[in-house]
Amino acid sequence: MKGFLGVDVGSVSTNFVVIDHNNEVLVDLYIRTKGQPIRAVQEGLKQIASEIGNSIDICGVGTTGSARHLTSILVGGDSVKNEITAHAVAASAVIPGVQTVLEIGGQDSKIILLRQGVVTDFAMNTVCAAGTGSFLDQQASRLNIPIEDFGGLALQSKAPVRIAGRCSVFAESDMIHKQQLGHNLEDIIAGLCEALVRNYLNNVGKGKEIVSPVVFQGGVAANVGIKQAFERALGVEVVVPGYFSVMGAIGSAILAREQVRKKDKTNFKGFEASEFKYKAGSFECKGCSNLCEIIEIYHDEQVIARWGDRCGKWENIS
């Protein structure tokens, strides 16, 4: 069977999927990046290789996420696209006719508007932590509640309390204050979910025309309390796809398939790339006042890629 590999490497998670020609997910994998994207990518390749064995022939690879360029060098990528493009492509493939994509990950959040299958607008928030997966993880840990139970407890609330959600610091302080006043834990958690949705709509979604079908993806989509809060705030049904946590990887796999179809070959280095000895380095170019930080990737002590310069001076490694 022929398959196409998509890799989405972010600051919190590294996601892999293998799809077939019909966009059916054959294998999916979600692991923590832990600040080491090279190690995460190689570990993911090992796990994928172990799962598929010789049953699937990888015919193309796409990469996305904040470490997409690095990942493409490591695995031999055919397509390198940003998260907006990858998530939009995946949402359109899974939910035909989708017009709004709400995406909340571990460290950032974004909104994508599509009209007739074309991205017409988008916005991202990479500054404020309120509403991201890492903030929810932190609060679940503080309350000694498994993050998997967080959303379910929110659904049990009868009277959500109002939490100040415009900042993660204020939200945590307000939660502690509400606990000290004696409010039920379920009402506090439900109030936090509503506060985080308000924060998202007032910042990322401000001025955007949010119309259905609405798709909610990213790791935080696992939280049914956040999903319910979105539905209450928007007054429309919010759809959470089956592979919500790896949609970026699905989109990159679809894009890789289309790219390979054009050139009829792949750059994929094979699963043995998981054993290659890679290391990263950087230096500051002093050739002009920009002082660009140049990233270098080494394989067996040789530079195989450079990027980061505005003028292109260092991109040609030969």
50: CATH: 3.30.420.40
Position 166 confidence tier, pLDDT thresholds 50, 70, 90: low
Is the residue at 51 inside a domain?
yes
Is the residue at 318 inside a domain?
no
Contacts of 80 (CB under 8 A, 6+ apart): 62, 63, 64, 68, 69, 72
Residues 157 and 41 in one domain: no
Residues 103 and 233 in one domain: yes
Please tell me whether the peptide bond between 96 and the residue prior to it is cis, using omega within 30 degrees of 0. Answer: no
Report d(CA 196, CA 205) in Å as an integer: 12
Residues 21 and 77 in one domain: yes
Report d(CA 265, CA 248) in Å as an integer: 23
The predicted model gives 2-18 an average pLDDT of 92
Using alpha carbons, select from 108, 99, 158, 110 the residue that is nearest to residue 133: 108
Asked if 163 and 202 touch (Cβ cutoff 8 Å), the reply is no
Residues 107 and 84 in one domain: no
Residues 150 and 235 in one domain: yes
Residues 126 and 101 in one domain: yes
Is the residue at 313 inside a domain?
no
**pLDDT of 54 strictly over 50:** yes
pLDDT digits (tens, 9 = 90+) for 213-267: 999 998 889 889 999 999 999 999 999 999 999 999 999 999 999 999 988 899 9
Residues 41 and 172 in one domain: no
Helix, strand, or coil here: 113? strand
Amino acid 318: pLDDT: 45
Torsion sign (Cα): 155, 158, 164, 168: negative
Asked if 133 and 247 touch (Cβ cutoff 8 Å), the reply is no
Number of domains in the chain: 3
The predicted model gives 6-31 an average pLDDT of 93
- Among 224, 240, 256, the domain boundary falls at 240
Provide the angle, in degrees to the nearest 10, between the axes of the packed helices 185-203 and 168-180: 160
**pLDDT of 310 strictly over 90:** no
Residues 58 and 109 in one domain: no
Residues 263 and 214 in one domain: no
pLDDT digits (tens, 9 = 90+) for 261-290: 988 899 999 999 899 888 888 899 998 888
Asked if 201 and 233 touch (Cβ cutoff 8 Å), the reply is yes
**pLDDT of 209 strictly over 50:** yes
Amino acid 167: pLDDT: 65
> Beta partners for 104?
109
Is the residue at 107 inside a domain?
yes
Amino acid 224: pLDDT: 92
pTM of the model: 0.84
Please give the DSSP secondary-structure letter assigned to residue 279: E
Is the residue at 115 inside a domain?
yes
Asked if 253 and 17 touch (Cβ cutoff 8 Å), the reply is yes
Residues 36 and 83 in one domain: yes
What is the residue range of 257's domain? 2-89+248-273
How far from 249 is each of 65, 90, 182, 195, 254, CA to CA, in Å? 9, 8, 43, 29, 9
Is the residue at 317 inside a domain?
no
Q: What is the CA radius of gyration of the chain?
A: 21
Report d(CA 7, CA 23) in Å as an integer: 15
Residues 160 and 49 in one domain: no
Is the residue at 128 inside a domain?
yes
Please give the DSSP secondary-structure letter assigned to residue 262: H
Helix, strand, or coil here: 160? coil
Alpha helices by DSSP H, the chain: 37-52, 68-75, 83-94, 133-142, 147-155, 168-180, 185-203, 224-234, 247-263
Residues 235 and 102 in one domain: yes
CA angle, residues 238, 188, 202, in degrees to nearest 5: 50
The residue whose two tokens read 């460290």 is 107
Is the residue at 180 inside a domain?
yes
Amino acid 132: pLDDT: 72
